[in-house]
Amino acid sequence: MIIKPYGYALWENIKGELDRQIKETGHTNVYFPLFIPESLLQKEKDHVEGFAPEVAWVTHGGEEELGERICVRPTSEVLFCEYYSKNIHSYRDLPKLYNQWSNVVRWEKTTRPFLRSLEFLWQEGHTAHATREEAAEETDRMLEVYADVVENYLAIPVVKGRKTESEKFAGAEYTLTIECLMHDGRALQAGTSHLFGDGFAKAFDIQYLDKDGKQQYVHQTSWGITTRLIGALIMVHGDNRGLVIPPRIAPTQVMIVPIAQHKEGVLDKAYDLRDELANIARVDIDASDNMPGWKFNECEMKGYPVRIEIGPRDIEKNQVVLVRRDTNEKQFVAMNELNEKLPQILEDIQQNLFDQALAHRENKTTTVKSLEEMEKALEENPGFMKAMWCGDEACEEKVKEDYQVTTRCIPFEQEKVADTCFCCGKEADQLVYWARAY
Amino acid sequence: MIIKPYGYALWENIKGELDRQIKETGHTNVYFPLFIPESLLQKEKDHVEGFAPEVAWVTHGGEEELGERICVRPTSEVLFCEYYSKNIHSYRDLPKLYNQWSNVVRWEKTTRPFLRSLEFLWQEGHTAHATREEAAEETDRMLEVYADVVENYLAIPVVKGRKTESEKFAGAEYTLTIECLMHDGRALQAGTSHLFGDGFAKAFDIQYLDKDGKQQYVHQTSWGITTRLIGALIMVHGDNRGLVIPPRIAPTQVMIVPIAQHKEGVLDKAYDLRDELANIARVDIDASDNMPGWKFNECEMKGYPVRIEIGPRDIEKNQVVLVRRDTNEKQFVAMNELNEKLPQILEDIQQNLFDQALAHRENKTTTVKSLEEMEKALEENPGFMKAMWCGDEACEEKVKEDYQVTTRCIPFEQEKVADTCFCCGKEADQLVYWARAY
């Protein structure tokens, strides 16, 4: 998969904000190797079982066959663990709060642009702490950072919760997740944060001397989000006319389209306007020799939040025509009021996109109390299904096999929508979000 | 190789400035895949000959053996060419000005931290143009960008020139380079910019319809710099006490060390100072419970450009002690003058580091007119050797074999230091920089 300029610019903006928050919460960036020796990958049993079937193996370097196969990292827990085992000695070395921006490879049979690709870009945080409590706090903290970026920058509402045992990360004690709903009613896991407890620490012998002079195992976390967020963005906000990009992460927030640009003064005025607005927004101008209709179309397809049209008559009246991508609403704005109004309009669009996505998700969230009700929901209004679950993996497995519906998470915000498991009818006290997922 | 927090912070600063200049010169970032199928790598003959011996081969994905081996990119020319061949149709599609930040792998037998590692981080620009002239201009332009970043941000003077035929990039028509001299007298190639002409275009059939409706081959360039610049930084400016980081790319420009910090008011004042200076510099404070002497040592080792000491007596006198890392010079600065003086001091340090490195390079640059003079230079004052070369590869080969000395570049600034080749004694009209290199 190639990420072209517009897609990569979106990633740069997502990355920019997330990196800022990762640093603000005390983490530093590092870079660990792409390759993992097979023996190292095998050190933690659950982890290798989860990942070995989907890694790419390097067997030759140059002309020579390698003595030991190495894999291209599918994730880097074992590399960080190996490093921590050699570099953590005392409580003074803790916490270790590392993050890296990198590429990873998972040998998937079926791929889908941005959502599931053989190689993808991501950040992976790997931290080590003195106590389980600290590690658990870190796991929560990073889930909140993810939720903030996805909700407040990508304008996508999330459901926060915990993965079930069968859906958690290979090697984790538990996995927290933010789950989103796409326009077509399918769910997407948008970011995860894992508590490892001391499982990896024991496998890799990562111990430190505590204040009382006793050897203790560290407690670890890891957390990641990927370029699939670009896919989420497209599938949540896009419509039949193309993309709709939330202003806060839009590479171009405002596109100026000159009308009758061959007429004297139009282009000059349009460029002046661009230069003025450049102080308050990411603004560009389409002065190509395409027809205005073609340009409008291009603006819609690219999903620029705001389009500003300026022609001879507008210049006469000292105004511009401003068109919102989200509502298609057209308004005349006096030239001297643009500086004041534009930032507010961009914020309104940001908020409106979030509100629309939330309303859409609410409309597509059904409470179901039996398998029949699930069938009906899948047929009539597919989306999130809220249902009580007994906790038995047999029910989870059955629903997955029969309906291709998986548990998305046990939400933090619990409700008791029934007394019994919607699948087996036994007593149940956990609410779970279910859906067909990407 | 692991890049730890401080090293990675240096890379982020180098990357930040270079990325700004890459965008300012009209390029956009993209991301192309890590993997290259063997058949694709083989499309350009010189290129595959140059790189095939040093690539890592993936032969298995998950449990399955692959039908065709894929290599981990050693560089991405063939991927961009493949893309360009499908996406360039008309003169309207040109120029294509793409860049990517990525990791690459070269299976080296001997490695050296930062300078030569099996995997490294870099940026690689890949551009396609309508004419050879435009492509040649681009090749020059990007060399100038590299020279600017290395000289004005890393404070390392460069020699700009062209590689000889035997040292040019595999597949290039010619390669431009910036060459630096390390503290120990060895040269380091710090960045290269290649003109491909239409060689790749013919191998990959990258044609466009020109304004007259005729099919034409595009003309291409590529250019890259890598994490080896971190190595250059360490080896040019470092001294026996540790690193010396130029202010413009220093993650921490000023470290505040409180003296007698247990005394009332000291820490408060030190933190106030940090908050105030944060507006004009990247400033940090070491309020750990280590002794001041230990902290001073740490400041020197890390190479912070400026250390500010503040203790009870300084507070009384409304002053601080400011110590420059480059000169070790100590000065008292009145608290209310810091805001004005500090930026100037940082600029002075930046300039002084460049001047020192330049003087060092000049001292270690010897003009040689014969092999004997080269032997003498290698023994007494190893560094750059300026010598006339006849242009015969036999001489180049002999000098490489007998002295492990290679041609670094044919400098743009030519001088005629002799009439004959220093190796064979035949007529020579090209000045070449020679050196033992990393």
Question: How far from each other are the two terminal CA atoms of chain B, in whole angstroms?
Answer: 17
Enclosing H/E stretch for B293: helix B292-302
Q: How many Cβ pairs closer than 8 A exist between chain A and B?
A: 104
**Among A48, A37, A14, which Cα is nearest to A150's?**
A14
| Residue range(s) defining the domain that contains residue B117 | 5-237
Q: Which of A35, A107, A121 is facing B62, going by the closest CB pair?
A: A107
* Nearest chain A residue to B9, by CA: A29
Same domain, A15 and A161: yes
Same domain, A141 and A168: yes
- pLDDT tens digits, one per residue of B366-405: 999 999 999 999 999 999 999 999 999 999 999 999 999 9
* Nearest chain B residue to A83, by CA: B2
Phi, psi dihedrals of residue A63, rounded to the nearest 5°: -90, -10
Q: Which of B8, B59, B121 is facing A60, going by the closest CB pair?
A: B59
Task: Please list every residue in chain A whose beta carbon sits closer than 8 Å to the beta carbon of residue B103.
Answer: 34, 102-103
State how far the Cα of B73 lies from the Cα of B86, in Å rounded to an integer.
Answer: 20
In the block, residue with structure tokens 């290649």 = B194
- Compute CA A410 distance to the chain's CA centroid, rounded to the nearest angstrom: 19
Same domain, B341 and B394: no
Share of chain B above pLDDT 90, in %: 96
CATH code (residue A385): 3.30.110.30
Question: How high is the pLDDT of residue A79?
Answer: 97
Do residue B29 and residue A9 have CB atoms under 8 angstroms apart?
Answer: yes
> Could you tell me whether strands B254-258 and B283-285 are parallel, antiparallel, or unpaired per DSSP bridges?
parallel
Reported confidence tier of residue B52, pLDDT bands at 50, 70, 90: confident
Residue of A6, A8, A93, A117 best to disrupt the B interface, most CBs of B under 10 A: A8
A53 touches chain B (CB under 8 A): yes
Question: How high is the pLDDT of residue B312?
Answer: 96
Residue pair B105/B83 in contact (Cβ under 8 Å)? The answer is: no
Residue of B4, B31, B92 best to disrupt the A interface, most CBs of A under 10 A: B31
Q: Which of A32, A59, A83 is facing B57, going by the closest CB pair?
A: A59
3-state secondary structure of B91: helix
Do residue B5 and residue A29 have CB atoms under 8 angstroms apart?
Answer: yes
Enclosing H/E stretch for B128: strand B119-129
CATH code (residue A168): 3.30.930.10
**Among B357, B231, B361, B254, which Cα is nearest to B303's?**
B254
Secondary structure of chain A in HEC code, one letter for each residue: CCECHHHHHHHHHHHHHHHHHHHHCCCEECECCCEEEHHHHCCCHHHHHHHHHHCEEEEEECCEEEEEEEEECCCCHHHHHHHHHHHCCEHHHCCEEEEEEEEEECCCCCCECCCECCEEEEEEEEEEECCHHHHHHHHHHHHHHHHHHHHHCCCCCCEEEECCHHHCCCCCCEEEEEEEECCCCCEEEEEEEEEEECHHHHHHCCEEECCCCCEEECEEEEEEEECHHHHHHHHHHCECCECCCCHHHCCCCEEEEECCCCCCCHHHHHHHHHHHHCCCCCEEECCCCCCHHHHHHHHHHHCCCEEEEECHHHHHCCEEEEEECCCCCEEEEEHHHHHHHHHHHHHHHHHHHHHHHHHHHHHCEEECCCHHHHHHHHHHCCCEEEEEECCCHHHHHHHHHHHCCEEEEEECCCCCCCCECCCCCCECCEEEEEECEC
Q: Which of B3, B56, B61 is facing A107, going by the closest CB pair?
A: B61
Do residue B34 and residue A103 have CB atoms under 8 angstroms apart?
Answer: yes
Do residue B2 and residue A31 have CB atoms under 8 angstroms apart?
Answer: yes
Residue of A6, A58, A59, A102 best to disrupt the B interface, most CBs of B under 10 A: A58
| Adjacency order of strands within the sheet including B365-367 | B28-29, B96-105, B119-129, B219-226, B187-197, B174-181, B159-162, B406-411, B430-435, B384-389, B365-367
**CA angle, B8 then B14 then B18, to 5°:** 140
State how far the Cα of A308 lies from the Cα of A338, in Å rounded to an integer.
Answer: 10
B37 touches chain A (CB under 8 A): no
**Up-side HSE of residue B171: CA atoms within 13 Å toward CB?**
30
Do residue B60 and residue A57 have CB atoms under 8 angstroms apart?
Answer: yes
B33 touches chain A (CB under 8 A): yes
Q: Which of A8, A62, A119 is facing B33, going by the closest CB pair?
A: A119
State how far the Cα of A285 lies from the Cα of A220, in Å rounded to an integer.
Answer: 49
Mind telling me how many Å the CA of A65 is from chain B's nearest CA? Answer: 9
Same domain, A99 and A13: yes
Let me know if residue A124 belongs to a domain. Answer: yes
Last residue of a domain, one of A345, A379, A413: A345
| DSSP character string of B208-243 | EE-TTS-EEE-EEEEEEEETHHHHHHHHHH-BTTB-
**Up-side HSE of residue B88: CA atoms within 13 Å toward CB?**
29
The CA distances from residue A256 to A214, A244, A266, A278, A279, in Å, are 66, 17, 12, 11, 15
Residues ≥6 apart with Cβ < 8 Å to A268: none
Q: Is A76 left (phi over 0), alpha (psi -120 to 50) or beta?
A: alpha
A60 touches chain B (CB under 8 A): yes
B61 touches chain A (CB under 8 A): yes
Let me know if residue A165 belongs to a domain. Answer: yes
Mind telling me how many Å the CA of A241 is from chain B's nearest CA? Answer: 23
Burial class (CB in 10 A: 0-12, 13-18, 19+), B432: buried
* Nearest chain A residue to B70, by CA: A58
A335 touches chain B (CB under 8 A): no
Partners of B123 in the beta sheet? Answer: B101, B225
Tokens of B304: 């912070």
Do residue B72 and residue A34 have CB atoms under 8 angstroms apart?
Answer: yes
Do residue A98 and residue B5 have CB atoms under 8 angstroms apart?
Answer: yes
**Up-side HSE of residue B50: CA atoms within 13 Å toward CB?**
15
CATH code (residue B338): 3.40.50.800
A302 touches chain B (CB under 8 A): no
* Nearest chain B residue to A288, by CA: B92
Task: Please list every residue in chain B whose beta carbon sits closer than 8 Å to the beta carbon of residue A35.
Answer: 56, 105, 118-119
Residue pair A248/A118 in contact (Cβ under 8 Å)? The answer is: no
Same domain, A179 and A135: yes
Task: Please list every residue in chain B whose beta carbon sits closer than 8 Å to the beta carbon of residue A74.
Answer: none
Same domain, A340 and A373: no
State how far the Cα of A306 lies from the Cα of B165, in Å rounded to an integer.
Answer: 52
Last residue of a domain, one of B345, B375, B400: B345
3-state secondary structure of B20: helix
Question: How high is the pLDDT of residue B310?
Answer: 97
Reported confidence tier of residue B157, pLDDT bands at 50, 70, 90: very high
* Arithmetic mean of pLDDT over chain B: 97
Tokens of B238: 């470092």
Report the domain count for chain A: 3
Let me know if residue B141 belongs to a domain. Answer: yes
Residue pair B345/B320 in contact (Cβ under 8 Å)? The answer is: no
Same domain, A164 and A254: no
Do residue B2 and residue A33 have CB atoms under 8 angstroms apart?
Answer: yes
Same domain, A109 and A224: yes
Question: How high is the pLDDT of residue B393?
Answer: 97
User: Is it the case that residue B45 has pLDDT exceeding 90?
Assistant: no
Task: Please list every residue in chain A whose beta carbon sits closer than 8 Å to the beta carbon of residue B81.
Answer: none
Put simply, the chain B residues between 90 and 149 with a CB less than 8 A from any chain A CB are 98, 102-103, 105, 107, 118-119, 121
Q: Which of A1, A8, A83 is facing B2, going by the closest CB pair?
A: A83
- Compute CA B407 distance to the chain's CA centroid, rounded to the nearest angstrom: 18
B365 touches chain A (CB under 8 A): no
Q: Is A130 left (phi over 0), alpha (psi -120 to 50) or beta?
A: alpha
Same domain, B153 and B76: yes
State how far the Cα of A148 lies from the Cα of A373, in Å rounded to an integer.
Answer: 33
Residue pair A85/A206 in contact (Cβ under 8 Å)? The answer is: yes
Same domain, B68 and B200: yes
Residue pair B183/B243 in contact (Cβ under 8 Å)? The answer is: no
Radius of gyration, CA atoms only, chain B: 25
Let me know if residue B353 belongs to a domain. Answer: no
Mind telling me how many Å the CA of A30 is from chain B's nearest CA? Answer: 5
Residues ≥6 apart with Cβ < 8 Å to B173: B194, B195, B196, B197, B199
Residue of A49, A57, A73, A118 best to disrupt the B interface, most CBs of B under 10 A: A57
Rounded to 10 deg, the angle between the B338-363 and B228-237 helix axes is 90
Last residue of a domain, one of B310, B345, B380: B345
Task: Please list every residue in chain B whose beta carbon sits closer than 8 Å to the beta carbon of residue A55.
Answer: 62
**CA angle, B307 then B313 then B317, to 5°:** 90
Cβ atoms within 10 A of the Cβ of B207, count? 18
Let me know if residue B361 belongs to a domain. Answer: no
Query: What ipTM does the predicted assembly reach?
Result: 0.95
B87 touches chain A (CB under 8 A): no
Same domain, B257 and B164: no
pLDDT average per 10 residues of sequence, chain A (438 residues): 97 98 98 97 89 94 94 97 98 97 94 92 98 98 98 98 96 97 96 97 97 97 98 96 98 97 95 96 96 96 98 96 97 96 98 98 98 97 98 97 98 97 97 97
* Nearest chain A residue to B72, by CA: A58
Let me know if residue B196 belongs to a domain. Answer: yes
**Among B358, B421, B435, B369, which Cα is nearest to B154's?**
B358
Residue B43 amino acid letter = K
User: Is it the case that residue B68 has pLDDT exceeding 90?
Assistant: yes
B287 touches chain A (CB under 8 A): no
Let me know if residue A101 belongs to a domain. Answer: yes
User: Is it the case that residue B109 has pLDDT exceeding 90?
Assistant: no
Let me know if residue B355 belongs to a domain. Answer: no
Same domain, A155 and A88: yes
Task: Please list every residue in chain B whose beta carbon sits closer than 8 Å to the beta carbon of residue A8.
Answer: 28-31
The pTM of the full predicted model, rounded to 2 decimals, is 0.96
**Among B256, B280, B276, B281, which Cα is nearest to B266's?**
B256
